[in-house]
Amino acid sequence: MDKQLFYKEIGQSLFNGRLSPAQRDGMEVKLEAFDRHGITDKRWRAYMLATSYHETARTMQPIEEFGKGKGRPYGQKRKCDGTPYTHPDKLYYGRGDVQLTWYENYHRMGKLMGIPLLTCPELALDPDISASIMVEGMTRGNSNRGDFTGVSLEDFFNDRVDDPVKARKIVNGLDQAQRIAGFYQKFLAALQIIMVVVLLMMVGCKPHQVVAERIVTRTDSTALRELTDSLLWQERETSFLQTDVNRAREEIIHLGSVTRQHRIQYDTTLPVDSTTGRPPVASEVITTMQSRLEKMIEDEETGHGERSGVRESIARERRHRTLTVEKQAHEEKVRLEKTPTLLRKPSLLWATAVVCIALLVLTVRFFWRKKV
């Protein structure tokens, strides 16, 4: 799997071209977990990545629920059936890539994975453990069922069914189902581009030629058939690929200058937003290397201003020269109008002189003969 191409594509489509090292590392851990658990269906991979993208507020890192369950039933020392508990002295609010909640879920997942998750719920924040919890809970893993809600990816993505909207029932009913389905489509497209690269390399296209090529955006099975047909046009399109490579290199330079830390703080004293399912944002802090990015932007804006000034100066000089030429032409025209016709046309003046001399000679000869 060409992960570099995957990160490039998904960075453009879902992260506004600014994929941070932390986000990249988070996806790397999950991709390794998919390989470790034998997850080969790209639809399953894409939907789990989309779920993590939504539940972790785009960080792609396991996080604690904002507010730590305050105002929620699981934010108290009670089980799903309402029975209170005193041990362990822990609260089982949302943690990890899927925001695992409730006493029973921590207990069940800990037993399935062989870790003391009930007594140490903080383990769900470990990236590797969190990724394994997501895979186990969303597939028919060791328990042969979907451990979160009873349904799993096998129920919504198989040979007969492809339903990324209803797949939200695996984690949390239909909450934000359409939105997560949109994230899924973009993750799936990024994963499928890797298949495009393999096919292009099989027909002789060099790796650097397809770095930034975005060929397949649809997700149905006909995309591959259409891709096979499009390979016949490879030579005609090769000339455009170098331009994409150059653009990709420029973008990589900019990506290398983005922040390495993105922290969002939420105001838990205010009501939860019904759309996002989270409290309003109190502050958003972007640190590390931000000054370098701003400097790059500032330098670019300064350079653009200087270039604009040079262009305006050249335009003014051209206008001045045009006006000077027009003025001289006008003065020449006026001078010619004031000059007698004969003086303005030297050839006519010489012709007149020759005629006069000829007439004079003829006149003299006429009178001379008459006198003789």
CB 161 within 8 A of CB 155: yes
Residue 371 belongs to a domain: yes
Distance CA 46, CA 13 (A): 14
Between 48 and 372, name the one with better pLDDT: 48
Give the pLDDT mean for 225-254: 50
Give the pLDDT mean for 62-77: 93
Distance CA 325, CA 334 (A): 14
Give the pLDDT band (50/70/90) at residue 102: very high
DSSP strand pairing (95-96 vs 63-64)? antiparallel
- Which pair of structure tokens corresponds to residue 350? 């010489």
Total domains in the chain come to 1
For 41-45, 63-67, 161-165, 310-314, which range has the lowest pLDDT when averaged over its residues? 310-314
pTM above 0.75, yes or no: no
Give the pLDDT mean for 123-144: 94
Residue 54 belongs to a domain: no
Eight-class DSSP state of 262: E
Per-residue confidence (pLDDT) for residue 232, from 0 to 100: 47
Between 335 and 250, name the one with better pLDDT: 335
Report which residue type is found at 208. H
For 70-79, 244-253, 322-331, which range has the lowest pLDDT when averaged over its residues? 244-253
Between 352 and 218, name the one with better pLDDT: 352
Residue 350 belongs to a domain: yes
Domain that holds residue 369: 343-372
For 135-144, 204-213, 298-307, which range has the lowest pLDDT when averaged over its residues? 204-213
Residue 145 belongs to a domain: no
Give the pLDDT band (50/70/90) at residue 76: very high
Eight-class DSSP state of 121: G
Angstrom CA distances, 16 to 2, 96, 110, 251, stand at 21, 24, 37, 11
Give the pLDDT band (50/70/90) at residue 218: very low
Per-residue confidence (pLDDT) for residue 4, from 0 to 100: 87
| Nearest alpha-carbon partner for 195 in 226, 233, 166 | 226
CB atoms within 10 A of CB 100: 26
Between 370 and 150, name the one with better pLDDT: 150
Per-residue confidence (pLDDT) for residue 306, from 0 to 100: 62
Angle between helix 21-36 and helix 42-55 axes, rounded to 10 deg? 140
Phi-psi region of 363 (alpha: psi -120 to 50; beta: other; left: phi over 0): alpha
Residue 150: phi and psi, rounded to 5, are 100, -15
Report which residue type is found at 11. G
Distance CA 180, CA 165 (A): 8
Give the pLDDT mean for 152-164: 95
Residue 24 belongs to a domain: no
Taking only the tens place, the pLDDT of each residue in 261-306 is 667 777 777 777 776 677 777 777 666 554 444 444 445 555 556 6
- Which pair of structure tokens corresponds to residue 33? 């977990």
Residue 347 belongs to a domain: yes
End-to-end CA distance of the chain: 124
Q: Is the dihedral of CA 159, 39, 106, 172 positive or negative?
A: negative
For 118-122, 285-289, 347-351, which range has the lowest pLDDT when averaged over its residues? 285-289
